[in-house]
Amino acid sequence: MKDASASKRARTLRDVDSHDCNDCNDAECAFCGDGPVQLDEQLLSQSAHALVLVALEESDKGTDRAVVVKLFETAVEKFGQEQSLAHAWALLHLAEYAEYVEYAERAAKLATQLGSSADRIHKAQILLIEARASVLAVCLEQSNWRDPAADDECSDEEGADSAGKSIVGEKQLREGLAQLVEAYRLLCAEHDAASLVEAYKSTIAFLLARRQAHSLTSMVLVALFDIATTLVYMHEGWAPVDGSGERLALAGSNGDGENARRIAHQAVLVWAMAAADCAAAGEQIEARLEPLITFLASRSADVECCKLHVQLLLVLCGCYEDEEKSMTAYEDATSALLKAHKLSPGDEDIKAQLADMGQPVN
């Protein structure tokens, strides 16, 4: 009998770029299936550094995961024994895409070996690699995954308790958060807003990918939610990063600071929605979101802040056990959305949401 996989010709990056798998009904399609991935000669002739950039670009475009993995694998092979941060990042990206913890361990080990430089940005990059490797290892630990058959884990009190008693690798998560905090401190100290924005984007994308890749237990979700909120609160004047009361200010006058702030706020919303799926996390969500909601309420002249304020209040509606508090949050959300409509009367999304909430407008 002919091997079905052998009948599929090798896929190339060009093939995947030009083929629309969404419209394909061919069960034996070489582009959509699991056939081997081959890179063309032009790509193979590029340097390891160039291949990493290509892989990141293709990832942003949503290119087939197997192709992105192949690009990172090839880059890692080309790096060989090179002792560089670029090599460590390539190993980490490969670990994230291939979901192979050994690559993450290699990335962290290499980053640690490169840690003797006095340059603060260099140190920040090392900490970011080590932190993401730690978080990835915990997320890939199958003991931290929910049983797909136990869909009622979050609503069942006994299931939520059993899932919340411990996290395999909890110490790693705490260390990862501490490393992320220190990395952002170093970037702030350098007044490098552009690097800070890039670090935000990269870290948030990584966290979201971890949430989407597996059905993590409620306690792991809440732990990741804490990482996101901690990073946000580091850079706002309305919430301290820890009990010391220390606050960090974003540097730069070219809009990078505001860009980072918006990215961070959006991340909190996504993680609030993820954690809100678990009833056991309700009170924790309320406590963590309170400073952000207070801040957004003070920015009622900014339509984007109004819209984010609405979404967070609606998340809280589902978290409150007290019906009166839930109704108050809903009314506040409606009020904030009406303010957003006044600021941007042509926004069709706002109009549609107001209609859904029983407040149709012309």
Least confident of 2-6, 35-39, 197-201: 2-6
Q: What is the DSSP letter of 10?
A: P
| 3-state SS class at 19 | coil
Task: Check: CB of residue 150 under 8 Å from CB of residue 159.
Answer: yes
pLDDT at 315: 80
pLDDT in tens, 273-305: 655 555 445 566 777 777 778 777 877 888 888
Residue pLDDT, tens place only, 223-256 = 777 776 776 666 554 333 343 334 344 433 345 5
CB 339 within 8 A of CB 354: no
CA distance 245 to 177: 18
For residue range 61-118, list pLDDT tens digits in order: 888 888 889 999 999 999 999 999 999 999 999 998 888 899 999 999 999 999 877 7
pLDDT value of position 93: 93
Q: Name the residue among 169, 175, 180 with its Cα closest to residue 267.
A: 180
Q: According to the model, what pLDDT value does residue 130 have?
A: 94
Question: What is the chain's mean pLDDT, rounded?
Answer: 74
pTM as predicted: 0.69
Tokens of 128: 């970011």
The partner residues of 37 in beta bridges, in order of sequence, read 11
Tens digit of each residue's pLDDT (9 = 90 or more) over 307-327: 888 888 888 887 777 788 889
CA atoms within 13 A of residue 163's CA, in its CB half-sphere:
29
